[in-house]
Structure 1
């Protein structure tokens, strides 16, 4: 009989030793009795979620954790988000993730335009679409939106969260689609300059959305379904289009939770409750929590520790009510020192597959784990092996 499995992923939880914490990482410093219970009564190891040569994005890392080798299946973040939004791409369409950002005096001031609301983003994109007739724009959640370039050739571009505080000139799109993408950015700056949405945000002391920033474009990947891959049914809980897109392409059930925001104020308990309910009919549920990553990008130690502790608190519900296999891990580190992702291996702990001598859940303890260092796509086969 197959044992059911719950995977809890705290996006960007892993970090580095921090002087202000007595050279502890946020995971070591935070109060995490439930993660520690999983580590103490289970087994630990380190997971290489970002293969050599790949940028350490959540797209690459989460594909890897789900067992899809990025070297075989990754084409870009844009098409994954297009799938989530129900946007069907033609064979020669290139879908780009398209942030609303704040750029002042040629410097990337904020990669999210102050975490602009979805409603405000929709108004801005509606006005911009009227001015850009050669591309298709799709508003998403908050600052996370989509630009589809028809008959595209591709372009390399830098994630805006990687260049906060830096001049943008050397990070603008490069490659075959660069001219049209830069043109779209210039038009957006003109359309947004005196837009009512931005005037209201400025009046409230909030970051205005001064421009769009297209990045990580690609065509729809062709991947085997989750059930074909593992012979099991799977579900995805998140608040981020990227994760829903991966799930839809993989044929997993998309489970939306009221109050799940993709930010620091997300509905932590609701995600666990919905996951436990879904496990009544599904074999596997993947719960993605974005909050630690957002805190990492903000460079806020206080918020990162709080996000980790809030996630740990609701893990107690799973420990009390679920009798299957539980795994906990990040997808990648988001160190507060640099406010962006790294490709370092992440700590993972598994309850229900034996135990080793680790005493708590952290990066350093994981180095002692009996699983050792394994590649991302090896994790789920390990969990599913009876």
Structure 2
């Protein structure tokens, strides 16, 4: 049996007046998602447990079958595993964004989507000047890591930069403001601006009219987590396909195979076809593949309706269309489509609202949901006897659903 879980990060949304009350998912042409919904089974998941922040870390950990309330320690350590930063028991891993600061405000949480090549030069400069504070590790684009050797720093309060775009930086620094560790790390963030502003990378970006990567933002910190291997928990061998270090980091801790896909960028220009081709290849010797696509989430953060619609349509046509065409040649299979969390255009950040899923395995139960979108799945769900499922229970539910032909 082969399993594929396709995650359209932040894909679901709220009705938009610009779309005459439709969501991007309703507006998009999604014949393959609709096929899965009509011929398979749909429902609603709570991927973000009550009381937890609606981050991609928490939500994707749920989808991949692990209870965040039990295993989540922070976003930083998950990304550390992906980029080869081994944390000791006393280390705290911070997610480190390059941001654009402008007149005391957080102007852009991704520094104009700075390239990894540019970022590597800036990370090198930070390590040269601030090695007494800790160590910076290169990630991808604007997403990097800072490791600090003070375990107590894990208890500080931090804010995701994409939640406070346009707001004064002083209002969203690490807290408590009078905590010695917070004071020291907030001081570090401000000090980096003096080095970054003058760096040749930023001078060239300035000449080209691009946003500057003129400050760092520390957030999502945590200590090294302990999670049981995926193969021991579910009895199958799994792999990840993604352009995002966070998902690769979860995969590393779970013992999944992180398949490198050239051209998988974690942005609008990601190689959708490359992802599905490498996924099909991975299924030759793996039982399950998670295919994660970041583009809808990036469009949600940017408030870009058309890019979100395009990302959804590309997932449908280039990934799901190819999978539905090719998977039968591998024998029995099951496929699921879902987001990790909503990233509504009007909100421009994540929310904790329940998300719709659709799953299909030839010959298994169909509840004949009309289409895969927010209202259609929710209406079908309300008219069924199904209950809102905790997100981490979905993977086992999906695997069990696909066993109908053996019953």
Relative to the length of structure 1, the TM-score reads 0.98
How far off its partner does 1:267 sit? 0.4
How far off its partner does 1:280 sit? 1.2
The SS at the match of 2:151 is coil
For 1:381, the equivalent position in structure 2 comes to: 396
* Map 1:209-248 → 2, pairs under 5 A: 209-248=213-252
State how far apart, in whole Å, the 2-side matches of 1:42 and 1:181 are: 50
The SS at the match of 1:193 is helix
For 2:307, the equivalent position in structure 1 comes to: 303
For 1:356, the equivalent position in structure 2 comes to: 367
For 1:258, the equivalent position in structure 2 comes to: 262
State how far apart, in whole Å, the 2-side matches of 1:126 and 1:187 are: 15
1:189 aligns with 2:193: yes
How far off its partner does 1:27 sit? 0.5
1:340 aligns with 2:344: no
Query: Contact 1:131 / 1:187 at 8 angstroms: preserved in 2?
Result: no
1:366 aligns with 2:374: no
State how far apart, in whole Å, the 1-side matches of 2:387 and 2:19 are: 27
The SS at the match of 2:123 is helix
Query: Contact 1:188 / 1:211 at 8 angstroms: preserved in 2?
Result: yes
Aligned to 2:96, which of 92, 98, 103? 98
How far off its partner does 1:151 sit? 2.3
For 1:50, the equivalent position in structure 2 comes to: 48
* Map 1:1-386 → 2, pairs under 5 A: 3-134=1-132, 135-153=134-152, 154=154, 155-175=156-176, 176=179, 177-314=181-318, 315-323=320-328, 324-352=333-361, 353-367=364-378, 368-369=380-381, 370=384, 371-385=386-400, 386=403
Query: Contact 1:73 / 1:223 at 8 angstroms: preserved in 2?
Result: yes
Query: Contact 2:83 / 2:138 at 8 angstroms: preserved in 1?
Result: no
Query: Contact 1:118 / 1:143 at 8 angstroms: preserved in 2?
Result: yes
- Unmatched segments (≥5 aa) in structure 2: none
Note the alpha carbon deviations across 1:194-253, whole angstroms, 9 max, x for none.
111111001101000110000010111101110111011100010000000000000001
Larger helix proportion of the pair:
2
How far off its partner does 1:365 sit? 1.3
Query: Contact 1:26 / 1:301 at 8 angstroms: preserved in 2?
Result: yes
State how far apart, in whole Å, the 2-side matches of 1:66 and 1:382 are: 12
State how far apart, in whole Å, the 2-side matches of 1:151 and 1:173 are: 15
* Higher mean C-alpha displacement, 371-380 vs 285-294: 371-380
How far off its partner does 1:73 sit? 0.5
- Unmatched segments (≥5 aa) in structure 1: none
* Higher mean C-alpha displacement, 239-248 vs 132-141: 132-141
State how far apart, in whole Å, the 2-side matches of 1:334 and 1:308 are: 13
How far off its partner does 1:180 sit? 2.2
